[in-house]
Amino acid sequence: MTGTLGLVVPAYRPDVDQLGAYLAEIRAELDPDAVRIELDDPDEAVVAALREFDATVHAVPYRRGKGAAVTAGFEALDTDVRAFADADGSTPAASLAEVVAPIQAGRADLAVGSRRHPAARVATHQTLARRHLGDAFAWLARRLLEVPLHDYQCGAKAISAPAWESVREHLYEPGFAWDVELVAIAGALDLRVAEVPIEWHDRPGSTVSPVRTSLRLGRALLAARHRAKRLRNSRLHEAIASQRGEPTALVDRK
């Protein structure tokens, strides 16, 4: 397959120097055809600084959330392969290339970077509390979803353009739960999902609250399972949906 590669970097209050260095590494390692920085609620100085990089900067004056930002970026791309990486550079460029490789080779429709895979290389760890919460979420997700992975939430994933066309209208979660919803929907649509062990570096100073995010992820996991079951024509989940309805998909929100 190979084809063209587009990269989206969702960013909220990024370290500009760190992000610039990371983009330079990505350019050297992957040579993407397009790079988009999807920037939420920035000040003008940050926007100006990021426009100096070799990337398209799309800024909005409010916080959309990671999922909404990546969705907007993927919608704006017309490349054969679409990938995203978190702005803090937790996934080195060489590992991001390993995530992209199964899509470029036509071996998978969705590739998921994994920090918890037995073959992953974790250079620096999260706090003990965040690790335990993450492990518990992954354990629960493996039991509720059709796609058994070690890690659903790593900030490095890649998808083919046809697969994106299949999943895009079924994605609703604007925040960090978008990752697990993407995997759930891909499984429900019988897309080929590859889990790729990566090298990973924890970045202190994350804007994510472990406890609040874990609670939101738990609720979102149940919602993702519900939507995946609906795609499998579950009568029970169709009945549940008919009683409460569904929100508007991300691609249809203004």
pLDDT, tens digit, for every residue of 238-249?
777 777 777 899
Q: Which residues touch 139 (CB under 8 Å, ≥6 apart)?
A: none
d(CA 194, CA 213): 25
1: how many CB neighbours lie within 10 A of its CB? 12
Over 80: is that where the pLDDT of 89 sits? yes
pTM of the complete model beyond 0.85? yes
Q: Helix, strand or coil for residue 197? A: strand
Over 70: is that where the pLDDT of 171 sits? yes
**pLDDT at residue number 126:** 57
For 113-134, the pLDDT digits (tens) are 999 999 999 876 556 666 767 7
Torsion angles phi and psi, residue 86, rounded to 5: -65, 145
* Residue 14's pLDDT band (cuts 50, 70, 90): very high
**pLDDT at residue number 254:** 73
* Residue 205's pLDDT band (cuts 50, 70, 90): low
Q: Report the first-to-last Cα separation within the chain, whole angstroms.
A: 34
d(CA 56, CA 217): 30
Q: In terms of Cα–Cα distance, which of 7, 18, 85 is closest to 46?
A: 18
- Distance of alpha carbon 13 from the chain centroid: 18
Q: Helix, strand or coil for residue 113? A: strand
Give, for 212, the enclosing helix (H) or strand (E).
helix 210-231
The answer to which of 91-95, 113-117, 206-210 has the lowest mean pLDDT is 206-210
**pLDDT at residue number 202:** 78
Torsion angles phi and psi, residue 196, rounded to 5: -115, 115
Q: In terms of Cα–Cα distance, which of 117, 110, 214 is closest to 171?
A: 110
User: Measured between alpha carbons, how far is residue 18 from residues 78, 89, 93, 142, 233 in Å?
Assistant: 27, 8, 13, 34, 46
Mean pLDDT across 151-169: 96
Mean pLDDT across 145-164: 96
List the domains of the chain with CATH numbers.
5-252 (3.90.550.10)
**pLDDT at residue number 47:** 95
d(CA 141, CA 184): 9
Average pLDDT, the chain: 91
d(CA 217, CA 223): 10
Amino acid (1-letter code) at residue 40: D
Mean pLDDT across 32-60: 96
Over 80: is that where the pLDDT of 187 sits? yes
Over 60: is that where the pLDDT of 252 sits? yes
d(CA 131, CA 192): 28
d(CA 228, CA 206): 30
Alpha-carbon torsion, ordered 201, 204, 206, 212, to 10 deg: 100
d(CA 109, CA 20): 29
Q: In terms of Cα–Cα distance, which of 197, 185, 187, 123 is closest to 154?
A: 197
